[in-house]
């Protein structure tokens, strides 16, 4: 009889500890909230921006066949594995794998490394914001050559696009190219010239 009572008490104690830990960690308010957060995490900048470019570059509709096949065979099962491990363990990706199998915590560190590699998207978003800020000017800086970063070889956007440009002007660059290379990227002349930060 005492053994049954001890088992029940241990079960209650474990349940109370799990509830405390769940309360500290936080829970989703509803299934809809969870679905929206997961969808926001899955559909990132790479999916919206790079996917149409990849389709165009690799053959249009023919690219969709291997893409769809790999999404069904690899992408969806890995996504379901990651979310189910997170739900089951109620831990982050490193400690969740450690809880399942201590040797598998390397999978969590791999996920962390991949997440850090995608940090480059922040830079691309900063470029987009940079262009957005400059687009509110009355005269777009990439449409004319009266800026401090332009060279003597600069051609304004209307001149560059017109048919009046002679073919002997091989050293000319468009105002848009100079804006990108000399203002946004602040490119130096070469590896010997480090330039500024």
pLDDT over 90 at 157, yes or no: no
Residue 156 is assigned to a structural domain of this protein: yes
Q: Is the pLDDT of residue 6 over 70?
A: no
d(CA 95, CA 105): 7
* pLDDT band of 21, cuts 50, 70, 90: low
Q: By residue range, what is the domain housing residue 178? A: 138-162+169-184
Q: Which residue, among 111, 121, 135, has the nearest Cα to 48 in the 3D structure?
A: 121
Structure tokens at 178: 């100079």
Asked if residue 63 is part of any domain, the answer here is no
Q: Is the pLDDT score of 22 beyond 60?
A: no
Band (136; pLDDT cuts 50, 70, 90): very high
Cβ atoms within 10 Å of 155's Cβ, excluding its own: 20
**By percentage, how much of the chain surpasses pLDDT 70?**
77
Residue bearing tokens 């309360």 = 23
End-to-end CA distance of the chain: 75
Distance CA 175, CA 141 (A): 8
Q: Which two tokens stand for residue 154?
A: 């600069």
Residue 192 located in a structural domain = no
Confidence at residue 25, expressed as pLDDT on a 0 to 100 scale: 66
Report d(CA 45, CA 51) in Å as an integer: 10
CA atoms within 13 A on the CB side of 40: 6
Tokens of 79: 């996504």
Residue 109, domain member (yes or no): no
Residue 127 lies in a domain: no
Q: Report the number of distinct structural domains present in the chain.
A: 1
73-98 pLDDT, tens digit each: 988 888 888 888 888 888 888 888 88
CA distance 165 to 163: 6
**60 pLDDT higher than 60:** yes
């Amino acid at each position: 009889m005492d053994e049954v009572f001890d088992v029940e008490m241990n079960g209650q104690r474990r349940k109370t500890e799990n509830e405390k830990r769940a309360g500290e960690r936080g829970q989703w308010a509803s299934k809809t909230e969870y679905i929206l957060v997961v969808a926001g995490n899955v559909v990132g900048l790479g999916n919206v921006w790079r996917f149409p470019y990849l389709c165009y570059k690799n053959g249009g509709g023919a690219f969709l066949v291997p893409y769809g096949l790999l999404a069904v065979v690899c992408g969806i099962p890995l996504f379901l594995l990651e979310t189910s491990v997170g739900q089951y363990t109620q831990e982050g990706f490193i400690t969740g794998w450690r809880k399942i199998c201590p040797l598998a915590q390397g999978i969590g560190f791999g996920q962390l490394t991949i997440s850090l590699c995608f940090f480059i998207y922040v830079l691309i978003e900063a470029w987009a914001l940079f262009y957005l800020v400059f687009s509110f000017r009355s005269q777009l800086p990439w449409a004319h050559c009266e800026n401090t970063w332009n060279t003597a070889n600069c051609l304004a956007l209307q001149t560059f696009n017109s048919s009046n440009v002679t073919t002997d002007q091989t050293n000319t660059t468009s105002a848009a190219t100079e804006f990108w290379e000399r203002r946004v990227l602040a490119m130096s002349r070469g590896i010997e010239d480090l330039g500024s930060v």
